[in-house]
Amino acid sequence: MTKKVAIIGATSGIGRALAVEMHNRGYTIGATGRRLERLQDLKQQLNTRIYTQFMDVTELDDAVHKLDQLKKDMGGLDIIVLNAGVSNYQKDSVGRQADLHVIDVNVRGFANLASYSFNLFEEQGHGHIVGISSVAGLFGWGLNIPYNASKSFVNTYLQGYRQKANHSDADIYVSTIMPGFVESEMTEGKKDLFWVQPTEKAATQIGDAIERKKNEVYITKRWRLVGWFVKLVPNWVWNRM
Ligand SMILES: NC(=O)c1ccc[n+]([C@@H]2O[C@H](COP(=O)([O-])OP(=O)(O)OC[C@H]3O[C@@H](n4cnc5c(N)ncnc54)[C@H](OP(=O)(O)O)[C@@H]3O)[C@@H](O)[C@H]2O)c1
């Protein structure tokens, strides 16, 4: 039987490319997002083994209901990829409402579905949670304050669930995916970015990480160097940046 993967936020960028990648690897795909025309477009492209579901992750109870519905439509779920995320790099990253929106999507929206996923997998005895975090989660950054903080939350939140999975009788895996810069609507038109990687390359490496059940992985591989470097920089240097 083919494995079933739900991808939360599959209407563009990394999520959409991952849906295509996992479909090519033989998985049945459950794709969610708010842009219905994009979901329809993906459905037409993939044609078979594809289910779609409208979902706004900030509508917490409704998002859980929608994921539950998707699971029923698909006849179960083996892997849930929590990919939906927003950033407000440089443009309007100052302001209470802008900050809170990032937190609503990347923190509250994420934790809501991660928690649901863990409980589901404990009940059914197996499953794999894949969280799309970021290299940005390794340090604070004045040009994207809530975003970096939100991804730092994702990293430690998933680490906690990974520990919990180790103590569970169920066969649960938790993967933290940390991309550097990847081509997508999130990075489109942004200046001063470096090593921006093609979306398909990122999706291939994320697909490999999922199948190898990696705990933590940088995407693409070269971003591991940045990860190592960032961890070596002392706090007093970060504070002066
Ligand atoms: N691109 C990069 O350089 C980069 C680097 C590191 C990490 N990441 C992470 O990768 C993930 C995907 O980002 P991307 O670069 O592919 O950007 P993207 O093209 O803007 O995709 C964002 C996805 O999130 C969904 N989303 C946003 N707000 C949502 C909401 N309220 N409810 C439900 N879905 C929502 C969008 O779907 P709808 O708009 O249709 O709802 C879309 O499918 C994010 O978590 C991001 O933080 C990206």
Neighbours of 15 (CB within 10 A): 26
**CA dist., res. 46 & res. 24, Å (int):** 9
pLDDT at position 241 is 84
pLDDT at position 191 is 81
Q: Is 201 exposed, middle or buried (0-12, 13-18, 19+ CB in 10 A)?
A: middle
Q: Do 7 and 77 form a contact (C-beta atoms < 8 A)?
A: no
Taking CB atoms and a 6 Å cutoff, what residues make up the pocket around ligand 1?
9-15, 33-35, 38, 55-58, 83-87, 105, 132, 134, 179, 181-182, 184-187
Q: Report which ligand 1 atom has the smallest distance to the Cα of 8.
A: 34
pLDDT at position 133 is 98
CA 52 to mean position of chain CA atoms: 17
Q: Report which ligand 1 atom has the smallest distance to the Cα of 39.
A: 40
How far, in Å, from the CA of 169 to the mean position of ligand 1?
33
How many secondary structure helices (H) and strands (E) does the chain include?
Answer: 9, 7
Residues of the chain with pLDDT under 50: none
**Alpha-helical segments (H) within 25-59:** 36-46
pLDDT at position 91 is 58
How far, in Å, from the CA of 10 to the mean position of ligand 1?
8
Closest CA to 99 of 86, 109, 112: 86
First to last CA, the chain: 52
CATH number of the domain within which 193 lies: 3.40.50.720
pLDDT at position 94 is 67
Q: Count structural domains, the chain.
A: 1
pLDDT at position 90 is 63
Closest CA to 116 of 64, 72, 175, 56: 64
Strands 79-82 and 126-132, by their bridges, are parallel
How far, in Å, from the CA of 138 to the mean position of ligand 1?
19
Closest CA to 206 of 228, 190, 184: 184
Domain region containing 13? 4-240
